[in-house]
């Protein structure tokens, strides 16, 4: 074997070995990130204002999807952009809304905020704070998921119900107010999602670089005897 072909074979072995190491590292990283992503959140990151009131949370896991939530007083129309279109709401059915309500009880209304409902922004009732999560409206009625957070010693509960829009008050105009809107929005992609995307881009770049190396090889760079061994027609070139 000539020096050129020996160099080519050695380069091929090195690239093959590097490719195997890269793929093993990629698969291990993806497996780890998938395991982390599949682990359900136990509690979200709570957002508390300067007065110690709970105003919302980030990283709320609802059926495997991560949301941010804020607690807002007012009318349904003022909080949810008219409250007259399905696109105004984060959830589209009772199962999703009820699951989101339960997620509030499990992940957001925890610790001090579970024991004292009045510490939730928009709620001033010391006995309970009831967060409403609308998911459908017919124009005269509204379907909502409900998270009912009772003071310490009482059982919290989540459910869904239908109410006449004309019976739903402006929550900001109530005195001892036990109601507040919970407005959910999709969270930005998690770090693990970005990491998996970057790993994919890295693998694509590696493959393109390796392909470019292979394609750039020219038989004419080999000694004549090696060219004949690889391509008999090269005797005529």
46 confidence band (pLDDT: 50, 70, 90): very high
Average pLDDT, the chain: 79
Q: How far is the C-alpha of 96 from the C-alpha of 64, rounded, in Å?
A: 11
What is the tens place of the pLDDT at every residue in 118-175? 999 999 999 999 999 999 999 899 999 999 999 987 899 999 999 998 889 888 877 6
CB 152, CB 114: distance < 8 Å: yes
Confidence of residue 40 (pLDDT cuts 50, 70, 90): very low
pLDDT above 70 for 60 = yes
Q: What is the pLDDT of residue 171?
A: 86
Q: What is the pLDDT of residue 173?
A: 77
Q: Is the pLDDT of residue 214 over 60?
A: no
Number of other residues whose CB lies within 10 A of the CB of residue 15: 15
Angle, CA 180 vertex, CA 176 and CA 184 arms, to 5°: 170
> Are 117 and 151 within 8 A, CB to CB?
yes
The pLDDT, as a whole number, for residue 42 is: 52
Which residues lie below 8 Å from residue 47, measured CB to CB, with a gap of 6+? 54, 55, 56, 57, 58, 70
Query: Beta strands of 153-230 (E only): which ranges?
Result: 157-164, 179-186
| Statement: residue 101 has pLDDT above 70 | yes
Comparing 219 with 200, which gets the higher pLDDT? 200
* pLDDT at residue 180 greater than cutoff 70: yes
| Whether residue 115 has pLDDT greater than 90 | yes
Percentage above 70 pLDDT, the chain: 60
pTM of the model: 0.65
Q: What pLDDT is stored for residue 2 in this prediction? A: 57
Residue bearing the bigger pLDDT, 167 or 203: 167
Overall average pLDDT of the 9-31 stretch:
62
């Amino acid at each position: 074997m000539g020096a050129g072909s020996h160099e080519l074979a050695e380069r091929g072995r090195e690239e093959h070995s590097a490719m195997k190491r890269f793929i093993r590292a990629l698969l291990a990283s993806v497996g780890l990130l998938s395991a982390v992503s599949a682990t359900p959140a136990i509690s979200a990151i709570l957002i508390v204002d300067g007065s110690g009131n709970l105003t919302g949370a980030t990283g709320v896991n609802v059926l495997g999807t991560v949301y941010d939530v804020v607690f807002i007083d007012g009318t349904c129309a003022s909080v949810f952009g008219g409250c007259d279109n399905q696109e105004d709401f984060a959830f589209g059915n009772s199962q999703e809304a009820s699951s989101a309500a339960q997620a509030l009880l499990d992940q957001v209304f925890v610790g001090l905020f579970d024991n004292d409902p009045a510490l939730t922004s928009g709620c001033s009732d010391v006995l309970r704070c009831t967060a409403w999560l609308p998911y459908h409206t017919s124009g005269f009625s509204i379907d909502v998921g409900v998270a009912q957070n009772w003071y310490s010693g009482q059982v919290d509960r989540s459910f869904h119900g239908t109410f006449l829009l004309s019976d739903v008050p402006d929550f900001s105009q109530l005195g001892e107010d036990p109601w507040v809107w919970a407005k959910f929005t999709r969270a930005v992609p998690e770090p693990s999602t970005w990491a998996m995307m970057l790993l994919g881009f890295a693998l694509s770049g590696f493959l393109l670089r390796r392909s470019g190396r292979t394609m750039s090889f020219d038989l004419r760079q080999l000694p004549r005897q090696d060219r004949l061994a690889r391509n008999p027609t090269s005797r005529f070139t």
